[in-house]
Amino acid sequence: MTTTPGARTVRAPRGTARTAKGWAQEAALRMLHNNLDPEVAEHPDRLVVYGGSGRAARDWASFEAITRELRALADDETLLVQSGRPVGVLRTHEWAPRVLIANANLVGDWATWPEFRRLEALGLTMYGQMTAGSWIYIGTQGILQGTYETFGAVAAKRFGGTLAGTITLTAGLGGMGGAQPLAVTMNEGVAIVVECDPSRIERRIAHRYLDTRAGGLDEALALAERARDERRPLSIGVLGNAADVLPELLRRGAPVDIVTDQTSAHDPLAYLPSGVDFADWADYAAARPEECARRARESMAAHVAAMVGFADAGAEVFDYGNSIRGEARAAGYDRAFDFPGFVPAYIRPLFCEGKGPFRWAALSGDPADIARTDRAVLELFPDNTHLARWIGMARERVAFQGLPARICWLGQGERAAAGLRFNELVASGEVSAPLAIGRDHLDTGSVASPYRETEAMRDGSDAIADWPLLNALVTASSGASWVSVHHGGGVGMGRSLHAGQVSVADGTPLAAAKLERVLTNDPATGVIRHADAGYAEAEEVAHRHGIRLPMRDG
Ligand code: NAD
């Protein structure tokens, strides 16, 4: 994999003066740059932000053109971005999104990795993952809170509300997976994390997401068992291939309580096959992609078989949204789905309340602005102790990457309240410049992904993809600043469709009106989707918030 022509180092502009004609355009410009900040992106020279090959723009020429167009864009114009490439500017109106984005979408029968790669090689498309191509990735913090919530739910389900005295075994220290060690230690547990790329281990230690590295498996187990016995939180990185290390730890009868995985299994070319040296991997994958993908799938089958072995031995085992069970089954391993995905196991009850990964970034670049918004969230929801614990720990332990940002899961009603309060803070000058308010595509109403967010829906509607399309249409109709519709994020080609929105709080009454509508209607599509699927909790939330359900309310 060579450096993309035209590559250069970029970083978001900071401060209160803008170079675009409005703050929505300026926010899109800053967030696009921020996604490619070397502090934020995994491989910025190739425009890869996170998640295997999730890109912010198709190529550097497209990046330059998007930047130029955003600067010129009027408040009644909309820029169209087709898989990371700006293709048109249309006259719309001031409530319309300033940017509409569609990434990696393929017609059903063509929605496969080989066809996608063929089109990508022709320069016709780009993989946008979820927040890479929709310009609202905020570094590993973005996933940290979701991971913290998930491990908290594991603790509540099996271990009396804390992971103290337990050992979690997982793999992958990339953009998302790098959150795992800190999420485990925030829940007071011990984590052993296997990673084949030494630079990822160093990076997570540098960002204080990972405590230490072990020289080998013996040392990792000794460190883990001592910390567990002392009920002391500790995270340990181990260099190795998970397809070899997990079966070896199972064979040794390692005392593991929880097992999951966040290698880039959704893309077989981003999973290191057993028997291939890390140093040779990129050349091998480029030279023989089909053979490399086949060997990766076989390795995933061995990896998943070890996870099933740990489940058989009594551990809490779950798929963490990377499609590793699907790939293992494709390689012929028939017990791959013997453990659940994390959404049906832990997250769906939150989705029923319209809860999801609400996030915001301070366009000023000033950490004091995030400190002010943190206080505002605590003031808005004084009774939510779980939220207060998260904000407290995040302030203490999360190192900002790129523009200062914060994430917390908020539900129906809460998001609109927070957005309006943030807009007031911008209007009064308590926050020094506008805020970009968005979310992950992994949200209550914005995704169809049968191996992850919509696995095992109560009515069997896992693969119905009308919902994310309706969600995108709703946010675009409600005043969002930019809206995106993607394919293949998280779990890979042919397996998901999902949508995103970002809305800008610039302190104006118009922004307040838009924020109130977008941040009410966006989670409402999730409440509606879950009520429609037969979740009584969601129906109750709909009634409480006055969301009409024609086929249920009559
Ligand atoms: P990434 O590409 O940044 O990192 C993956 C890491 O796995 C890399 O550091 C790579 O070196 C390592 N790796 C690959 N093969 C390995 C092997 N055989 N043994 C050990 N390490 C190996 O990806 P990411 O952004 O961290 O995402 C990880 C996965 O999680 C992806 O499949 C992604 O789609 C999925 N994901 C999950 C969620 C969620 O909420 N659960 C959200 C987004 C993405």
Q: Tell me phi and psi for residue 405, to 5 degrees.
A: -150, 165
Which CATH topology does 141-340 take? Rossmann fold (3.40.50)
Q: Give, using CA atoms, the residue closest to atom 11 of ligand 1.
A: 197
Distance 465 CA to ligand 1 centre (A): 25
One-letter amino acid for residue 489 of the chain = G
User: What average pLDDT does the structure give for the chain?
Assistant: 96
Q: Give, using CA atoms, the residue closest to atom 44 of ligand 1.
A: 490
Nearest Cα neighbor of 459 from 524, 525, 522, 536 is: 536
pLDDT in tens, 394-410: 998 888 999 999 999 99
pLDDT in tens, 103-137: 999 999 999 999 999 999 999 999 999 999 999 99
Q: Tell me phi and psi for residue 447, to 5 degrees.
A: -150, 140
Distance 125 CA to ligand 1 centre (A): 22
Q: Give, using CA atoms, the residue closest to atom 23 of ligand 1.
A: 51
Distance 194 CA to ligand 1 centre (A): 11
Average pLDDT over residues 333-350: 93
Which of the 8 DSSP states describes residue 258?
A: E
pLDDT in tens, 220-271: 999 999 999 999 999 999 999 999 999 999 999 999 999 999 999 989 999 9
Under the banding of pLDDT at 50, 70 and 90, the label for residue 451 is confident
The structural domains of the chain, with segments of one domain joined by +, span: 44-121, 141-340, 346-553
Q: What is the pLDDT of residue 1?
A: 43
Ligand 1 nearest-atom number relative to CA 177: 26
Residue 335's H or E segment, with its range, is none
Under the banding of pLDDT at 50, 70 and 90, the label for residue 34 is very high
Q: Which residue among the candidates 196, 292, 352, 408 is catalytic per the annotation?
A: 408
284 is in an annotated binding site: no
Under the banding of pLDDT at 50, 70 and 90, the label for residue 387 is confident
Nearest Cα neighbor of 418 from 479, 472, 375 is: 375
Dump strand ranges (E) for 416-488.
435-439, 447-448, 482-487
pLDDT in tens, 265-318: 989 999 999 999 999 999 999 999 999 999 999 999 999 999 999 999 999 999
Ligand 1 nearest-atom number relative to CA 278: 11
Average pLDDT over residues 137-147: 87
Can you tell me the distance from the alpha carbon of 323 to that of 301, in angstroms, rounded to the nearest whole number?
12
Whole-model pTM: value is 0.85
Q: Which two tokens stand for residue 186?
A: 């925030």
129 is in an annotated binding site: yes
Q: What is the pLDDT of residue 491?
A: 87
Distance 548 CA to ligand 1 centre (A): 39
Can you tell me the distance from the alpha carbon of 2 to that of 278, in angstroms, rounded to the nearest whole number?
16
Ligand 1 nearest-atom number relative to CA 173: 9
Query: Above 60 in pLDDT, residue 2?
Result: no
263 is in an annotated binding site: yes
25 is in an annotated binding site: no
Under the banding of pLDDT at 50, 70 and 90, the label for residue 143 is confident
In the CATH scheme, what is the homologous superfamily, with its name and number, of domain 346-553? Urocanase superfamily (3.40.1770.10)
545 is in an annotated binding site: no
How many angstroms from the chain centroid is the CA of residue 166?
Answer: 26
For 16-55, b where at least 16 C-beta lie within 10 A, e where not — what string?
eebebbbbbbbbbbbbbbbbbbeebbbbbbbbbbbbbbbb
pLDDT in tens, 61-86: 999 999 999 999 999 999 999 999 99
Average pLDDT over residues 364-390: 94
Q: Give, using CA atoms, the residue closest to atom 34 of ligand 1.
A: 490
Ligand 1 nearest-atom number relative to CA 492: 34
Q: What is the pLDDT of residue 3?
A: 59
Q: What is the pLDDT of residue 229?
A: 98
Cβ atoms within 10 Å of 248's Cβ, excluding its own = 12
Ligand 1 nearest-atom number relative to CA 303: 18
pLDDT in tens, 151-171: 988 998 899 989 999 999 999
320 is in an annotated binding site: yes
Cα radius of gyration rounded to whole Å, the chain: 22
Distance 262 CA to ligand 1 centre (A): 4
189 is in an annotated binding site: no
| Pocket, ligand 1, Cβ cutoff 6 A | 42, 50-52, 143, 146, 171-177, 194-197, 200, 241-243, 262-266, 270-272, 320-322, 442, 490
Q: What is the pLDDT of residue 51?
A: 84
Residue 474 neighbours by CB under 8 Å, 6+ apart: 521, 522, 524, 525
Q: What is the pLDDT of residue 126?
A: 98
Catalytic residue status for 352 = no
Distance 2 CA to ligand 1 centre (A): 21
Ligand 1 nearest-atom number relative to CA 322: 32
pLDDT in tens, 494-544: 999 999 999 999 999 999 999 999 999 999 999 999 999 999 999 999 999
Distance 346 CA to ligand 1 centre (A): 20
Q: Which two tokens stand for residue 373?
A: 């918004």
Distance 285 CA to ligand 1 centre (A): 17
As for the ipTM of the complex, it is 0.97
152 is in an annotated binding site: no
Can you tell me the distance from the alpha carbon of 493 to that of 107, in angstroms, rounded to the nearest whole number?
11
**Which of 264, 266, 318 should be mutated for ligand 1, with most atoms under 8 A from CB?**
264
**Which of 307, 322, 454 should be mutated for ligand 1, with most atoms under 8 A from CB?**
322
Q: Are 491 and 449 a contacting pair, CB within 8 Å?
A: yes
Burial class (CB in 10 A: 0-12, 13-18, 19+), 284: middle
**Which of 40, 176, 318 should be mutated for ligand 1, with most atoms under 8 A from CB?**
176
How many angstroms from the chain centroid is the CA of residue 41?
Answer: 13
